[in-house]
Amino acid sequence: MAALTNPTGAITVNVGGTVYATTLATLTRVEGSMLGALAEALSDDEVLFIDRDGPSFRYVLNYLRDPFAKPLLPSDPTEWGQLARETDFYGLPGLLSRPSTTEAAGGDWKGESACTQIVTQAELCGYQFRSNIHEYNPSGQPAAYNYSSYRQFPCRDLRGCSLRYMDLTGWNLRGCNLAGVDATGANFAEADLRGCNLAGVDASGADFKSADLHGANLAGIDASRAIFDRVNLSGANLSGANLQEARLSGHRSDGLDYTNFTGANVRRARIRGSNVREQVEREAARGDFFGPPFEPMPPHWDPERSPGVSRSVGAVFS
């Protein structure tokens, strides 16, 4: 069976006779889930039929559409048992392991979602010191100290922290909620940021070189002058982002595939990948390479001699 070729295209899902419309990106948002595996096996124009409880699936779908928000669960606690069975089947325990908007008492689910585990600034900046003072090298001198930093913070709530100019090279921040944090000049090189919520983050001048941002939400991020060289932005949401003077290139030919550039400011951004030019020019905000806050257009500038400069969005493509 051929896989779907467009993860952002509409998918019809029939759950026990109740029909829903969604996308492959939504159904596969939680890696390793049963639901994701079922969706990835689909071919184009095929309806996904699941012989499970239809009404309960709306809560599953709403959770996947906005995994960083408190899920809306049934107000009747007697329905939680059925939903618990459905989430077990789909492999989505996070839906019921986090506080919901119902605020209802009772139920058997008292766990805490990873994304509700709040990280303090002290924890984020703390360092683990381990001395090898009792180990000696062949010359008889004490071996060098071994420093290792706390770099494992997957699926944590970091909204109360400042990442300003922090060196986060290689950190595992997968699935973290970073919405609105100050990450000015931060170094995210080679970091695992898959599925992160970076909405509204100030990441001006930040370095995302070789970072994995697959499926991340960067809506409204200020990433002006940021570096996105050799990154994986496949399936990421850059709608409304400020990418002015940023550099973007995929880690391979499909690194920028299915990235949402709707309304993004890409003036003077340097984007490598001719396969994405048409999409960016169609989706990004209108703007010229010249004009405030930049210098005016030279009187004798010939756009034919600079084919890489987009006259519609002001980016430079190569």
| 201-241: pLDDT as tens digits | 999 999 999 999 988 889 889 999 999 999 999 888 898 99
**Helix runs in the chain, H state only:** 24-27, 34-40, 57-65, 80-90, 121-125, 277-283
Contact 47, 12 (CB under 8 A): yes
The tens digit of pLDDT for each residue in 254-298 reads 668 788 898 999 999 999 976 899 999 999 999 999 999 898 988
Pairing mode, if any, of strands 146-149 and 316-317? Answer: unpaired
> How sure is the predictor about 111, in pLDDT bands with cuts at 50, 70 and 90?
very low
Contact 90, 33 (CB under 8 A): yes
Q: Is residue 2 part of a domain?
A: no
Looking up tokens 């605020």 gives 103
Provide the CATH number for the domain around residue 227: 2.160.20.80
**Residue finishing a domain among 115, 132, 157:** 115
- Residue 157: strand pairing partners: 118, 177
Domain count, the chain: 2
| Least confident range of 52-61, 80-89, 160-169, 274-283 | 80-89
On the question of pLDDT at 44 being above 90, the answer is no
189 lies in the same domain as 46: no
227 lies in the same domain as 239: yes
**Residue finishing a domain among 62, 84, 115:** 115
Residue 209's identity, in one-letter code, is K
Provide the CATH number for the domain around residue 60: 3.30.710.10
Burial 71-99 (b: 16+ CB within 10 A, else e): bebbeeeeebeebbebbebbebbbbbbbe
On the question of pLDDT at 303 being above 90, the answer is no
- In whole angstroms, give the CA distance from residue 236 to residue 248: 13
**String of DSSP letters for 6-34:** -TTSEEEEEETTEEEEEEHHHHTSSTT-H
Q: Is residue 1 part of a domain?
A: no
136 lies in the same domain as 101: no
Tokens found for residue 214:
């697959």
70 lies in the same domain as 185: no
| Least confident range of 136-150, 168-182, 258-272, 295-309 | 136-150
Residue 276: domain span? 117-318
166 lies in the same domain as 242: yes
- In whole angstroms, give the CA distance from residue 131 to residue 115: 33
Residue 190: per-residue pLDDT? 94
* Percentage, residues of the chain above pLDDT 90: 38
Strands (E), the chain: 10-15, 18-23, 48-50, 127-130, 146-149, 227-231, 247-250, 270-272, 316-317
Residue 206: per-residue pLDDT? 97
142 lies in the same domain as 46: no
Q: Is residue 213 part of a domain?
A: yes
153 lies in the same domain as 285: yes
140 lies in the same domain as 270: yes
Q: Is residue 133 part of a domain?
A: yes
